[in-house]
Structure 1
Amino acid sequence: MLLRHVTVDCADPYRLASFWSGVTGWPLFDGDQPGDPEVLVVAPEPQPGLLFIRVPESKRVKNRIHLDWMPTERTRDEEVERILALGATLHEDHRKPDGLGWVTLLDPEGNEFCVERSAAERTA
């Protein structure tokens, strides 16, 4: 079995997909545009894409599942700053003085996700 998409319910699929496209560097599906009821962020194989679908209800409670991201081109702290500049909000900071830990951020619609240390930071 292959995981094809991770689907996120949201109020504005194009806006949220555009944010995640900026975070990941992955493109939007060709032809997706503002106002579409669903918008896909196309991931490189074999990773699943991120599919954003409009729903009428708003997010009310903590996510029961969230994504953990590990930077590949930057440190954890550089990646956190970059994502904050894209429109994320700091939710919980679990960084420790010894360099361990992670940061929990919120996307523009309040969905939690974490940024962990990069592979290079883990081996250092």
Structure 2
Amino acid sequence: MALLVENLTIDTHDPDRLADWWARALGAEAAALVPGEFVTVALPGGLTLGFQHVDDPTPGKNRLHLDFKAEDVETEVERLVSLGATETARHSFGDDFRWVVLADPDGNLFCVG
């Protein structure tokens, strides 16, 4: 028996709002399976982000985050910040391995490199 990844699910107080933000950021569409409770954003390539309502999201640093690759990192970071993301850090190892850490409107961290 093999497991297949169906969703990467993110806890939030407002799944409709956060799914809409990620849909804009990724050029996709949000689909409310249960409005106000569970909303998805299907990405090209098969991965689906799920946003589920919880009364109390896990506090502190998230233990799982998304990593994105961009042809032009600076342009993409500027675009995401203009949509409401917050840049939190920049890291590099040598000249070839660089990434920018951002947070979505709920504070969930993700990276663009």
Q: TM-score interval w.r.t. the shorter chain? A: 0.7 to 0.9
Counting only pairs closer than 5 Å after superposition, residues 13-92 of structure 1 correspond to structure 2 as 13-29=15-31, 32=32, 36-45=36-45, 47-71=46-70, 74-92=71-89
Runs of 4+ that moved beyond 4 A: 95-100
Normalising by structure 1, we get a TM-score of 0.79
Q: TM-score, normalised by structure 2?
A: 0.86
Alpha-carbon shift at residue 3 of structure 1 (Å): 1.0
Contact 1:17 1:40 in 2 (8 A): yes
- Asked if the contact 1:9–1:53 (Cα under 8 Å) also holds between the matched residues in 2, the reply is yes
Give me the whole-angstrom Cα distance separating, in 1, the residues matched to 2:13 and 2:38: 10
How many residue pairs match? The answer is: 111
1:106 aligned onto 2:103: yes
Structure with greater strand share of residues: 2
Say which SS state the counterpart of residue 90 (structure 1) adopts.
strand
1-structure distance, mates of 2:65, 2:94: 25
Gap runs ≥5 in structure 1: 117-124
Partners of 1:96 and 1:16 lie apart in 2 by 32
Q: CA RMSD in A?
A: 2.2
| Cα displacement (A) at 1:2 | 2.0
Distance in 2, Cα, partners of 1:77 & 1:98? 15
Q: Give the counterpart letter for 1:64 in structure 2.
A: R
Which position in structure 2 is the counterpart of 1:119? none
